[in-house]
Chain A
Amino acid sequence: MSQTILLPERPPGAVALLLNGIFGENPVFRLALSLCPAVAVTTTVANGIMLGVAVLLVQVLSSVTVALVRRGIHPRVRIPAYTIIIAVWVSAIDMTLAGYFPVLYAQVGLYVKLIVAFAIIISRLEVFASRMPLIPTFWDGLGMGLGFLFALVVIGAFRELLGSGAILGHVVTPEKPLLFFALPAGGFFTIGILMAFFNALERWKRGGKAPTAAGGGAHG
């Protein structure tokens, strides 16, 4: 197994892992992974929550599965094995959501199925779940899932507020300030602006000090 990414000998604690997923290594804003769905479904907060929860469940379930069975997976076939594990959980979540939330599902269904191709999930399996014990793996999966959910809700809120003047369907302002942000093109601008904001924040934080190693879990 290649040790390109250095992890501490002892796995960090639960709180550190959760905060790392939400802020330090936020999948969307910091790692820039799985951007496609982040732009596609976030015209409203409700859509963002739906996909975010689906990703959260798939990430936690497949992380835990890999942590449980990793001794039985030969390193040479690990990528296909991970893909199948993810695909099984995605199918399960896909059918569950389609059964319980048919209206929301009609809008985000394709992207729920495409969770199987999300880089974030398989990269967490490869980087973390394949070499850490069960409990930290669970917290890491939960943290990454929550970070993804957080990002989708932030982008969704930004676009829904500016695009249709509402949050979660509740009207905040009667007029629609910038319809542009609800259009497909607006999603790209939103992500661009939010990413630049997070970049600027990071630069400002590092201002006087020496740059900290990314993903140390020391943020927040």
Chain B
Amino acid sequence: MDSIRPGRFASRHVTSAALGLAFLLLFAATAAADGGDAVIRGARVRAPHHLRLELTRPASSLDPANFRLTDARAPDVPIEIRSVVAEEGNAVLLEVNDRLDPSAAYRIEMLDPAAARDVRPAPWALLLTVVLSSALINNFVFTRYLGLCVFFGVSRKRDTAISMGITFAVVMILSAMLSWGLFTFVMAPLKLKFLQIIVFIGVVAFLVQALDTILKKTHKSLHQRWGVYLMLITTNCIILAVPLLNAAAESGPAESFALALGSGVGFAIALFLMSCAREKLELARVPAAFQGLPIAFTLAGLFALAFMGFSGLTFLR
């Protein structure tokens, strides 16, 4: 019994530390949001073609020429505004021809009364959407097909699937944050971004080896239970994909964390579902040619179909 306690103790601490970190990030992100302009009180993108402005006093002119909307990434190119409609209160609704992306940043300027405001999604909504999207909508297994070798390899038994899912999620978050730090503070200033593949694979290998050694010395029971799965992770495409995606999008720390968390949870969900289904499959009579991997693939296809139902879920409204 004694050997279990350190493991449980550690896992409780890890959980509370992770929760604390997540809340801190959320608060920091919310506090950093802009305080608002004197004239334009609020601005929100209403996908796909509308932008809603809340004003403190009525706009003097509803002529589209009175407004200037630009993408924050291309401040010199105005987005053409088709019409402006007044709504109740002092709100106006701008309709544009282009598709507006609710997760992107824009800048709206008004000539009379003169005002300007940055339009960007609420940080918590963006982060929650990243988590939700990477866990369910763009599930790494079912829509991006990453980590299939491990997915089909360890999804035969429910217990192994759960352990593997948890180990993966933890390593994914740690390696994503470590890679983000290296990428932002070392590789970008030194202009070594082209080395990202070599560096990230090194980070993952180093992390797995380090975790293995630390666990072996400090929590023997944890190591006995999860050590095997750790070694399977070393060069796995799903672990490597998260830092690569973060580097390609040049995400900040919060977004990197959200992507890693979402992907880890998504992979764990996929493993768990698949293991449950494959335990039932043991009892089914499968045609000879389909036995083994072919039927497992077909099953994964059915799950992928079901996961398509999540598309469109978002907090950015």
Find chain A residues with CB under 8 A from B143 CB.
184
What does DSSP make chain B's interface, helix, strand, loop or mixed? helix
> Among the listed stretches B109-117, B163-171, B215-223, B290-298, which one makes contact with chain A, having 4 or more residues with CB under 8 Å of it?
B290-298
Instruction: Given A36-B237, A88-B198, answer yes or no on A192-B145 (Cβ-Cβ < 8 Å).
Output: no
How many residue pairs link A and B with beta carbons under 8 A? The number is: 118
Q: A36-B149, A117-B235, A184-B143 are in contact. Are A197 and B295 (CB under 8 A)?
A: no
Is A185 close to B, CB under 8 A? yes
CB-CB under 8 A from B198, the residues of chain A are 84, 87-88, 91
B190, CB-defined interface residue at 8 Å? no
Interface digits, B242-263 against A, CB 8 Å rule (1 contact, 0 not)? 0011001000000000000000
Selected interface stretch from A4-12, A13-21, A108-116, A167-175: A108-116
| A185 B301 Cβ-Cβ under 8 A | yes
Q: In the docked arrangement, what's the CA distance between A2 and B300, Å?
A: 35
Residue of A nearest to B198 (CB): A87
* Those of B128-181 within 8 Å (CB) of chain A: 142-149, 152
B1 close to A (CB within 8 Å): no
Q: Digit string of B281-317 for contact with A (CB within 8 Å is 1, else 0)?
A: 0000001111111111110111011001000000000
Q: Is A199 an interface residue (CB 8 A)?
A: yes
Say yes or no: B147 contacts A36, CB within 8 Å: yes
Contact of B297 with A195 in the complex, beta carbons under 8 Å? yes
Interface bracket on B: 35 or more
Q: Do B244 and A87 touch across chains, with their CB atoms under 8 A apart? A: no
Given A110-B248, A195-B294, A116-B301 contact (CB < 8 Å): no
Bound-complex Cα distance A95 to B194 (A):
8
A195 to B287, CA, bound (A): 13
Are B197 and A94 interface neighbours, CB within 8 A? yes
Is B45 interfacial (CB 8 A cutoff)? no
Report A23 CB to chain B, min CB distance, Å: 18
Give the residues in chain A near B149, CB-CB below 8 Å.
Answer: 33-36, 119
B119 at the interface (CB under 8 A from A): no
C-alpha gap A203/B236 in the complex (Å): 32
Any chain B CB within 8 A of the CB of A217?
no
The reply to whether the CB of A165 lies closer than 8 angstroms to some CB of chain B is no
Decide if A192 touches B195 in the complex (CB within 8 Å).
no
B201 located at the interface, meaning its Cβ lies under 8 Å from any Cβ of chain A in the complex? yes
User: Which residues of A127-171 have CB atoms within 8 Å of chain B's CB atoms?
Assistant: none
- A185→B304 CA distance, assembly (Å): 5
Q: How far is the CB of A28 from chain B (nearest CB, A)?
A: 11
B155 CB, nearest partner CB in chain A, Å: 13
Within 8 A of B (CB), among A73-113: 80, 83-84, 87-88, 90-91, 94-95, 109-110, 113
What is the total number of residues of chain A having a CB less than 8 Å from a CB of chain B?
Answer: 42
Is residue B273 within 8 Å, beta carbon to beta carbon, of the partner chain?
no
- A98-B177 Cα distance, complex, nearest whole Å: 26
Asked whether A196 is an interface residue with its Cβ less than 8 Å from the other chain, the reply is yes
Q: How far is the CB of A204 from chain B (nearest CB, A)?
A: 9
Q: Which residues of B contact A197 (CB under 8 A)?
A: 289
Q: Does B205 contact A117, Cβ atoms closer than 8 Å?
A: no
Q: Is the CB of A188 within 8 A of B201?
A: no
Residues of B within 8 A of A122 (CB): 235
Complex contacts, A113 vs chain B, CB 8 Å: 196-197, 240, 244
Indicate if the CB atoms of B235 and A191 lie closer than 8 Å: no
The complex places the Cα of A145 from the Cα of B305 at a distance, in Å, of: 31
Which of B146, B244, B302 is within 8 Å of A36, CB to CB? B146
In angstroms, Cα B240 to Cα A119, docked, is: 14
Are A110 and B145 in contact, with the CB atoms below 8 A? Answer: no
Contacting residues, chain B, for A215 (C-beta < 8 A): none
Among A91, A116, A188, A203, point to the contact of B300 (Cβ < 8 A).
A188
What residues on A are CB-neighbors of B245 within 8 Å? 110
- Chain B's closest residue to A187 (CB) is B145
Quick check: B235 and A32 within 8 Å, CB to CB? no
In the complex, what residues of A have CB within 8 A of residue B236's CB? 117
If A80-B205, A91-B198 are given as contacts, then 19 extra A-B residue pairs at C-beta distance below 8 Å, sorted by A number, are A35-B145, A35-B148, A35-B149, A37-B145, A95-B194, A110-B248, A114-B237, A183-B304, A183-B305, A184-B142, A184-B143, A185-B304, A187-B301, A192-B293, A195-B294, A199-B288, A199-B290, A199-B292, A200-B289
Can you list the 9 inter-chain pairs with the closest CB atoms, starting with the nearest? A188-B301, A192-B297, A185-B304, A40-B145, A200-B289, A196-B294, A192-B298, A117-B237, A189-B301
7 contacts between A and B (CB under 8 A): A33-B149, A109-B248, A113-B196, A116-B197, A185-B308, A191-B294, A199-B290
